[in-house]
Amino acid sequence: MKATSLLPSLASAACLAALALFVAACETESAGGSSLSVSPSSATLGLDQSLTLKASGGETYAWSLADGSIGHLSGTSGGVVVYTATTVGTNQIVTVSTGAATSGGSPTNSTASVGSVVNVVIKQQ
């Protein structure tokens, strides 16, 4: 039984690792040609504490959680969201920005995406 109960955890970890690699590879340039910035880049919270996250350097922003069971976001889009910790653990908040791509400062007919990961540790108070 232990082997079966570990499979979802291993699958989740593998997906998260793949997403982190994708995001790390895309992190240097944003949709508009400038760097995507998310602040803060990491945080330690107590139970039921909140963290305001701000993104800049892109056009539109989409937010998601690696583990929705230990915290929640106030929304999934926009330049500012609030993360609230609900259970002890470690979570990752993923931000993706999509917008018009540029080449040499001139707009192209395509779109570009970049991402950022914020690590959050939730501790017992």
Q: What is the pLDDT of residues 25-64, one digit of tens each?
A: 333 343 445 578 899 999 999 999 999 999 998 888 999 9
CB 121: neighbour CB atoms within 10 A?
Answer: 13
Instruction: Please state the pTM of the whole predicted model.
Output: 0.66
Query: By the 8 A CB rule, do 80 and 74 touch?
Result: no
Structure-derived torsion over alpha carbons of residues 100, 105, 106, 111, reported in degrees to the nearest 10: -20
pLDDT for residue 47: 95
**Yes or no: domain 2-123 corresponds to CATH 2.60.40.1080:** yes
Q: Where are the beta strands (DSSP E) in the chain?
A: 37-39, 42-46, 50-56, 60-65, 71-73, 80-85, 89-103, 106-123
